[in-house]
Structure 1
Amino acid sequence: MTESSVATPAGVVREVSMRDAIVQMAIGAALISSTSLFVVYAQAAPTVSAFYRMFFGGGMLLAWVAMSGGWRPMTWRDLTLAVLPAIGLAADLIQWHRSILWVGPGVATLLTNFQVFLMALVGLTFYRERPARWFVPGVMLAMIGLWLLVGAHWSVFDAQHRLGVWLGLGSGLAYTVYLLSFRHALKTYPHLSPAQFLGLMSLLCALLLWVCGLGEGDSFVLHGVRSWSALLALGFFGQVLGWLLMVRAMPRLPASLVGLLLLLQPALAFVLDVILLGRPTGAGDWIGFVLALAGILFGAWRPRRSA
């Protein structure tokens, strides 16, 4: 048997594995991009829809872990480590769901993705991680794009719309806290699988959202098939299926490709906002959106050797 005859099947297997990972990653990102639409369709208060997303999603995740045979007994330390990520994600969802309802799913999702720049600044400040060479141009592109999307129309926005823009950016800050604390918990004490820890953290986050909702005077009673189906889909697609597909695909893909595929989330959310919800969008809005996406991509870009 020649060397080439051995190498060819292995190369084919790697190519098929790469293609499957790309498909899984793309489908996962597409599913998560749809979650902002479910927030609109649910016709529930922002904190209420966030609560059911975490409650349904966390319960489904833990059930999946148990049925797949990966369950491990949870300890008080697991619960303690889940507190900070739960607080960060609760703060993210409280702001993001309001931003979705007030400025639209597309722009709200794009604003949250500005956490890419915050993550890079945290890496530079605390971990001495040198930013990529495209980081500064990425920030500039994103700022120009953001101005074309919201800054150019700022004077015609009402107070609620303006607040929705700030909440969208604030959700990116809270999401950064969630990502960093979640990563720290799994690295320092890898007792539970990521799926089980996410399920635990989701239910703890749901508890925090329930308390916040009560403080806001919200009713958690759901009325009608539309609300139930939208919130069940929000939990399943956003917190379970989309996440599982992406976390399985990420280790098999280059970091640069992962960053590119993750941009499907704000891109598809914006397109679906325009098509399904009739968001008024002119040429300047499209240009601003593309520039902001490009800036986020450059901000997240990392060389292969540091991926």
Structure 2
Amino acid sequence: MLVQVLRGERVGPAPVWFMRQAGRYLPEYRELRKKASSFLEFCYTPDLAVEATLQPMRRYAFDASIVFSDILVVPHALGQDTWFVEGEGPRLEPLSDPSGLSMKGFDAHLTPVYETISRLREALPPEKALLGFCGAPWTLATYMVAGKGGGEQFPARKAAARDPEAFQAIIDLLVEACSRHLVAQARAGADALQIFDSWASALDEDGFSRWSIQAIGEIVNKVRAETNVPIIGFPRGAGAGYSRFVAETGVDAVSLDWSVPMDFARELQQRVCVQGNLDPARLVAGGPQLDAAVDRICDGLGEGPFVFNLGHGISLETPPEHVTRVIRRVKERTAR
């Protein structure tokens, strides 16, 4: 069902999945996480990653799962020191010279991710879609240059403005790496792929054109040359730039953050499948306001190709029962 919608069909009821639907808001995940000494070990251990991916599928009536992994496995596989600090997030050795990075050993390093996907495709019912993903080159580069997230990603913006050709070399390497990673996930069994440009909002107009749209468009072309699975693009916080993103990258679907106005979302839906865009804070809060927000999205977008999702990842604070409530309401509201 999800694949049909991503290809432009209207299906009722609308398919539902959530970004970060496998994670710390679930008590069973927190217990599972104790079995790995580090977050990267967790991602690279298929037994654990498979179980983490399946946990929300057992608990909820989601129509799709997304493989449990992380966008930063790509720079890690390229040879950049990467680790996670509990309660603080990712850390990388700040990148000053990309010549130390290499595609040599890249595929072998990420073999556990592809094994996880293959095992998941066997474990999931045929009607449940499985998504693979990667971070977009710009977003990955922001972490690689700064060594962490935050601060509106000023170090990467400064590096790109100061020496765009040197920064282009990083982006070019990431285009190749991300394309390879996505193709391998599709070959392992992923039914669809999502590209997360989580820091697109940090770019000015020219930067958005060069570092986000152009790079993701190249990835789309490379992946399409090898496989025909649908591709979702998520340039979070792109604002009016969503329109150009859809027109120029060639993605099959666009995931919207919660700031996108409904009228604008409907305009985009005339050209492409739209995914989104409930504010994760409303999911945490619950109550009548959550119901109203769900209804507004379903009523506004339910007549076209539409996947119900959040406007970004699910929050740690989310009560699990609120997820059940949203899925049930979406199915009722968008049933034909």
- TM-score bracket, shorter-length normalisation: under 0.3
Bigger RCO (CA 8 Å, 6+ sep): 1
Instruction: Tell me the TM-score normalized by structure 2.
Output: 0.24
* The structure with more radius of gyration: 1
Report which of the two has the higher share of strand: 2
Report which of the two has the higher share of helix: 1
